[in-house]
């Protein structure tokens, strides 16, 4: 099943929280994730830079830190949401405001914007989406070995049904790979690249994976 881009929040079996993102694409598969400091960005693969002229939405910061929170998204909403959380705005409000301000992507598919936010130590996370027909933000209790996710298509509601009770990753590297071929994510087609932030000591460990 093709469900487009995916964000997820979860908690490892040992109690480390995670925020994760996966690029799945049929139209622009020639992309990768790069790291700059404590943030990750999606960019075209070398030689495919001309894709940006076809669709300006395909390159963006996809994962950043906001104090005790990790923020993962599928677009330019990463930056304003991160900055609002870092300034002290409640996470729910920051996610809702960022999504409302930018709205869904005005491309040929009216692609929704999606967001996942996980706290470093407390068992709490948020999923949000803005679609043409709705703006939804929900808080989740994170439990060991479980993950919740939302996607741009099909699984586009922050609900209990979008759930994986076998989240087996223990590290950021394993979590990034899990988004490609672990648990329920193995059933979703057209993976391109993925990334994860997993709580580690006083911060988050970051990792990314390219198919």
pLDDT, one tens digit per residue, over 73-114 is 999 999 999 999 999 999 999 999 999 999 999 998 999 999
Q: Which two tokens stand for residue 83?
A: 């900055």
Q: Which residues contact 136 (CB under 8 A, 6 or more apart)?
A: 128, 129, 130, 157, 158
CATH at 79: 3.60.20.20
Cβ atoms of residues 151 and 114 within 8 Å: yes
Is 145 within a domain? yes
Domain annotation covers residue 60: yes
The answer to the question of residue 65 being in a domain is yes
pLDDT at residue number 201: 86
Q: Residues 109, 26: contact at Cβ < 8 Å? A: no
Q: In 3D, which of 20, 22, 29 has the Cα closest to residue 54?
A: 29
Structural domain total, the chain: 1
| pLDDT tens for each residue of 62-74 | 999 999 999 999 9
Quick one: which of 171, 150, 161, 176 has its CA closest to 12? 171
Q: What is the pLDDT of residue 20?
A: 99
Q: Is residue 1 part of a domain?
A: no
Q: Examine residue 153 and state whether it is found in any structural domain, yes or no.
A: yes
3-state SS class at 182: coil
Is residue 73 one of the residues assigned to a domain? yes
> Looking at residue 67, what is its pLDDT?
96
Closest CA to 151 of 118, 184, 102: 184
Which residues of the chain are under the pLDDT cut of 50? none
For residue 171, the model assigns a pLDDT of: 98
Range of the domain at 183: 6-210
């Amino acid at each position: 099943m093709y469900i487009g881009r995916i964000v997820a929040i979860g908690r490892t079996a040992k109690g480390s929280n995670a925020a994760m993102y996966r690029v799945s694409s049929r139209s622009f598969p020639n992309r990768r994730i790069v790291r700059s400091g404590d943030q990750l960005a999606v960019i075209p693969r070398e030689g495919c830079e001309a894709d940006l002229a076809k669709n300006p939405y395909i390159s963006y910061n996809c994962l950043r830190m906001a104090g005790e929170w990790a923020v993962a998204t599928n677009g330019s909403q990463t930056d304003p949401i991160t900055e609002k959380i870092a300034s002290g705005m409640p996470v729910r409000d920051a996610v809702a405001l960022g999504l409302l301000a930018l709205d869904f992507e005005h491309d040929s598919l009216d692609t929704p914007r999606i967001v996942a936010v996980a706290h470093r130590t407390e068992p709490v996370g948020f999923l949000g989406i803005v679609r043409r027909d709705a703006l939804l933000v929900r808080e989740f209790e994170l439990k060991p070995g479980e993950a919740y996710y939302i996607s741009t298509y099909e699984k586009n509601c922050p609900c209990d049904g979008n759930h994986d009770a076998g989240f087996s990753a223990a590290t950021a590297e394993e979590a990034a790979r899990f988004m490609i071929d672990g648990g329920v994510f193995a059933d979703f087609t057209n993976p391109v690249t993925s990334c994860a932030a997993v709580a580690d000591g006083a911060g988050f460990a970051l990792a990314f994976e390219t198919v």
